[in-house]
Amino acid sequence: MGQEHTTWITYDDRTAARFLWATILWGIVGMLVGAWAALELAYWPANAGQAWMTFGRIRPIHTDAMIFAFSGNAFFAGLYYSLQRLCKTRMWSDALSQLHYWGWQAIIAATAITLALGYTQGKEYAEMEFGIDIAITLVWVLMTVNVFATIAIRRVKHLYVAIWFYIASILTIAMLHVVNNLAIPVGLFKSYSIFGGVQDALVQWWYGHNAVGFLLTTPFLGMMYYFLPKAVQKPVYSYRLSILHFWSLIFIYIWAGPHHLLYTSLPEWAQSLGMVFSLALIAPSWGGMINGLLTMRGAWGRVRQEPILKFFVLALTFYGMATLEGPLLSIKSLNLLSHYTDWTIAHVHGGALGWLGGMVFAVAYYMVPKLWGRPLYSQKLANIHFWIATIGILLYVCSMWAAGLTEGLMWMATTSDGLLKYPQFIESVLAVKPLFWVRLVGGTLYLLGTVLCLYNLVRTTAGAEVRDERVMIQEDQHIPAKTMHERLEGRAMALAVFALLAVIIGGVVEFVPAFLMETKVPTVTSVRPYTPLELEGRDLYIREGCYNCHSQTVRMYHKEELRYGPASQAHEFVYDHPFQWGSKRTGPDLHREGGRYPDMWHYKHMLDPRSTSPGSIMPAYPWLLEARVDREMLTAKVGAMKALGVPYDADTLKDPKKSYGDQAIQIVGRLAQDGVIVSSDSELIALIAYLQSLGKLETKSTLGANNP
């Protein structure tokens, strides 16, 4: 080796270390919020009568924290650590690294605060309002520039498989985030999605499914390819498998979103695409798992002692399990049973706690001793962490499987007369309530394990500093590329373009026809828009996060119809910006709620759900009664809707307050007959109007008119 071709470089390890602390700290916060949400489902008064603590507000904080803060920061920690070493160069710009770090933490803090205050877009896992979305986009761009510039100045021509995964993740998340969050602002903290109804459902679950794919899966597969061989000190099992599973995974993943919308009014061909592509995902996913597990050949004896390897095994096992379970749950007939139940919750936590958590902890226990140049404070404690976490996951997942099955079977159970065996929704709620406690125990154990991890890492690093590693780099030996793919591995831009193409195709094929079809729906003549009062009520529904417990679409299945009423049709949702179909029925579906009960029932139920539905776990919303609607916002809201194509008439556009008042007075009058006096500006009135409009928008009457 020619000594003359060597250089010394210093890696930026401080950024990786910072991201790692952020991962663990935000992880603990996010898990704590999750555990609290779990507690509220078992024991609703745990919300302490505070609006910001109710389930509908804190569940998004939990999910977004786990996705953007825990998973996001962990990805960046692993990215900064491994990318520099795989490219044999320091990050291109320290300033950008810093901006990325602080920007990202600010985004997370802002998200938590605004969500608690009820500023939300009402789209799952994309709840943060448009201001934060813009910030995310900017920070993401900074990061992307830094990463690509680092790749450009690399001293290794050949891009290692970990980097393929990083590139695909970064580009895909950018695409998903920007498209799904397109919205029209109405004021500083409020916006309406530009997509509506079925279109919005399609876009949202394209996003939702692939956020899981490209923020919780592919970055960590990339990290697996770096950290696992490092930790076991063995070569990766199969390069060919890497190639095949990388390209097939990113290409196929994108198509699978519609499996969240089976049996709904989404065009059936799109549903079928969602199902078959989900099934086709098994092998690509398992490719990653077996490449990981087989890399550990000959190292199994060390798993017993080494917590790092234990966490890798945990991660890969749960990865394999979740990526089999997911496709199976996408099979239409099984989905009919499992969807909207807690089975989905079991599924996602198998992935999140097992796979994602396992990867994060493996990487954390690997990186910290390296970064601080010290052995781990206690191997024993790390092993205890592993066992607590494993028991926690098992309790969590098993209890939610049991709950999901119970719910699914009870909802669909019929008597010999063909009638629902459990017609009252509350019956299944009461049946699964004990399991909510078991889940809480499981989740709390997992959280405890994470706290142990933090303690262990703090003790390991106490008194020491991160030493930016300084290494001597030798000139890359030139090895001529033999295959097409090896040639591609030498060209970052080409690789990025191909990856982007692979992830764009699925979206385009599904969106374009679905959007064209939408224009054929006979909307204008048969569906009326929400009145200003109902629109306001809808915004409150979104603000309180009711969609975290209620779905709003009756599936095309007769037993659903028996329970809820006629199956929902696509055109009924055209003015829903955003759609509110939800993903989970902790409470019953609400799409046919309109006219089901008198106003007085809703009045009593919203103030105290136990008064009408003994045993209910729904939060009470007494503050809605006192809170007043700001009628001044109405003009802007109606105007924004008009801009989105909702056909409000000139009168409504000019003076929505009049229509608002007229309709509110009618409800106030009906409640007065039953003996309660409510102000017509009360938020509760708007919410009741909205609930009474659900499923009732089909009409031939003049549009935009007052039509309670």
Binding of another protein by 294 (CB under 8 A): yes
What is the C-alpha to C-alpha distance for residues 358 and 224, in angstroms, rounded to an integer? 11
Among 597, 608, 642, 666, binds ligand HEC (CB under 6 A): 597
Binding of another protein by 561 (CB under 8 A): yes
What is the C-alpha to C-alpha distance for residues 79 and 220, in angstroms, rounded to an integer? 10
The answer to whether 263 and 555 are in contact (CB under 8 A) is yes
Closer residue to another protein in complex, CB, 239/387? 239
Nearest to 647 by CA among 702, 572, 696, 706: 702
Q: Given the rule CB under 6 A, which of 76-84, 205-213, 435-443, 618-626 is the region that contacts ligand HEC?
A: 618-626
What is the C-alpha to C-alpha distance for residues 487 and 471, in angstroms, rounded to an integer? 28
Binding of ligand HEC by 422 (CB under 6 A): no
Q: Is the dihedral of CA 384, 385, 388, 393 positive or negative?
A: negative
Binding of another protein by 622 (CB under 8 A): no
Q: Which DSSP string do the residues of 671-693 spell out, in sequence order? A: HHHTT----TTBHHHHHHHHHHH
Residue 410 contact among ligand HEC, another protein, none, beta carbon within 5 to 8 Å by kind: none
Residues in the chain: 708
Binding of ligand HEC by 436 (CB under 6 A): no
Does the N-terminal peptide bond of residue 578 adopt cis geometry, omega within 30 degrees of 0?
yes
Closer residue to another protein in complex, CB, 327/358? 327
Among 242, 390, 456, 551, binds another protein (CB under 8 A): 242
Among 2, 417, 516, 701, binds another protein (CB under 8 A): 417
Binding of ligand HEC by 136 (CB under 6 A): no
What's the DSSP call for residue 552? Answer: -
What is the C-alpha to C-alpha distance for residues 69 and 513, in angstroms, rounded to an integer? 35
In the structure encoding, which two tokens stand for residue 420, read together?
């629902």
Binding of ligand HEC by 425 (CB under 6 A): yes
The answer to whether 359 and 311 are in contact (CB under 8 A) is yes
Looking at residue 136, its amino acid is: I
Closer residue to another protein in complex, CB, 420/653? 420
Residue 498 contact among ligand HEC, another protein, none, beta carbon within 5 to 8 Å by kind: none
User: Please, which of residues 681-700 interact with ligand HEC by CB under 6 A?
Assistant: 687, 691
Binding of ligand HEC by 335 (CB under 6 A): no
How many other C-beta atoms lie within 10 A of the C-beta of residue 118? Answer: 18
Closer residue to ligand HEC in complex, CB, 210/548? 548
How many other C-beta atoms lie within 10 A of the C-beta of residue 465? Answer: 11
Tell me whether residue 454 is exposed, middle or buried, using C-beta atoms within 10 angstroms of its C-beta: 0 to 12, 13 to 18, 19 or more: middle
Closer residue to ligand HEC in complex, CB, 45/375? 45
The answer to whether 537 and 687 are in contact (CB under 8 A) is yes
Binding of another protein by 94 (CB under 8 A): no
What is the C-alpha to C-alpha distance for residues 449 and 382, in angstroms, rounded to an integer? 9
Among 19, 26, 55, 76, binds ligand HEC (CB under 6 A): 55
Q: Give me the least distance between CB of 206 and another protein, in Å please.
A: 18
Q: Give me the least distance between CB of 271 and another protein, in Å please.
A: 8
Binding of ligand HEC by 617 (CB under 6 A): yes
What's the DSSP call for residue 69? Answer: I
> 193 pairs with which residues across the strands?
183
Binding of ligand HEC by 56 (CB under 6 A): yes
Q: Given the rule CB under 8 A, which of 20-28, 155-163, 339-347, 629-637 is the region that contacts another protein?
A: 155-163
Binding of another protein by 5 (CB under 8 A): no
What is the C-alpha to C-alpha distance for residues 279 and 389, in angstroms, rounded to an integer? 29
Q: Which residues are near another protein by CB under 8 A?
A: 82, 85-86, 88, 156, 158, 160-161, 226, 229-230, 235-242, 244, 248, 263, 268-269, 272-273, 275-277, 279-280, 282-284, 286-287, 290, 294, 415, 417-420, 423-424, 427, 479, 556-558, 561-562, 567, 595-601, 604, 612-614, 674
Q: Given the rule CB under 6 A, which residues bind ligand HEC? A: 41, 55-56, 425-426, 429, 541, 544, 546, 548-550, 586-588, 590, 593, 596-598, 601, 609, 613, 616-619, 621, 687, 691
